């Protein structure tokens, strides 16, 4: 019985609180000028850490993997077929 009450009440409350906190972080980052046009707002980062610095570091780390392990060359192209928010592909055009 408690599991049903918890699922129906606490999980939506936690998700709403997380969204509000991330939304406030987005506003603060925008005011401070700390936004990047290729990095999604933290309130939309639902697959992984909700932090723009970690988002960028993770993408740069995978870019190194693509180059070192996959022998990715600057003239080659990649097709990204996925359901994420581009965490691993945003650094590719650089």
Q: What is the pLDDT of residues 24-45, one digit of tens each?
A: 989 998 999 888 888 888 888 8
CA dihedral 61→92→33→51, nearest 10 degrees, is -40
pTM: 0.66
Tokens representing residue 13 in the block = 């409350």
- Whether the predicted pLDDT of 94 surpasses 90: no
Mean pLDDT of all residues in 42-53? 82
pLDDT at 71: 93
Mean pLDDT of all residues in 4-26? 81
């Amino acid at each position: 019985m408690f599991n049903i009450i918890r699922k129906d009440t606490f999980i939506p409350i936690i998700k709403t609180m997380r969204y509000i906190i991330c939304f406030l972080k987005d506003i603060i980052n925008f005011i401070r000028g700390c936004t990047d046009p290729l990095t999604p707002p933290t309130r939309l980062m639902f697959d992984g850490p909700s932090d723009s610095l970690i988002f960028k570091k993770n993408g740069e780390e995978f870019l190194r993997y693509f180059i070192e392990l996959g022998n990715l060359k600057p003239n080659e192209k990649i097709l990204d077929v996925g359901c994420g928010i581009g965490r691993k592909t945003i650094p590719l055009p650089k």
